[in-house]
């Protein structure tokens, strides 16, 4: 088991890793919609916030040696389920069939009062010789 991190995504804000690689799996911690260049939430509504969370996730996966095409499971945490449609619209642009398994959960409060947080589990594809 080893930790993976990148400066292309926001640093962990607590005692956790951006991602852990074990075997051929990558477990990416929940990604808030923080722009790593500014340290602030992305500007805009739920679509822009979702895009930033997923972009952060993509950068972490790249650092771990995989990509969004190898994501097998996501969990989306929303502060307001009324944001589901907007989140889903952007989410669908980051994945193609077969889509990863997904749970979407409304939660009372997210860290830093974020509106969305997304975590995933991805497979590291075997390298070809």
Cα–Cα distance, 50 to 31 (Å, whole number): 10
pLDDT of residue 129: 52
Counting runs of H as helices and runs of E as strands, what totals does the chain give? Answer: 2, 8
Indicate if the alpha-carbon torsion angle 95, 99, 105, 111 is positive or negative: negative
Over residues 96-125, the mean pLDDT reads 96
* Average pLDDT along the chain: 95
pLDDT value for 71: 98
Reported as a pLDDT band with limits 50, 70 and 90, residue 13 is confident
Q: Rounded mean pLDDT of 108-117? A: 96
- Over the stretch 36-94, which tens digit does the pLDDT of each residue have? 999 999 999 999 999 999 999 999 999 999 999 999 999 999 999 999 999 999 999 99
The closest alpha carbon to 64, from 22, 114, 103, belongs to 22
């Amino acid at each position: 088991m080893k930790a993976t991190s990148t400066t292309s995504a926001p640093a962990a804000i607590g005692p956790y890793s951006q991602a852990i690689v074990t075997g051929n799996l990558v477990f990416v911690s929940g990604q808030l919609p923080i722009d790593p260049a500014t340290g602030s939430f992305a500007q805009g509504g739920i679509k822009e916030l979702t895009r930033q969370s997923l972009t952060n996730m993509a950068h972490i996966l790249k650092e771990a040696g995989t990509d969004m095409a190898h994501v097998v499971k996501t969990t989306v945490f929303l502060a307001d389920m009324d944001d589901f449609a907007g989140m889903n619209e952007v989410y669908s642009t980051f994945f193609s069939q077969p889509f990863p398994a997904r749970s979407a959960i409304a939660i009372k409060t997210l860290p830093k009062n974020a509106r969305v947080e997304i975590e995933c589990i991805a497979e590291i594809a075997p390298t070809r010789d």
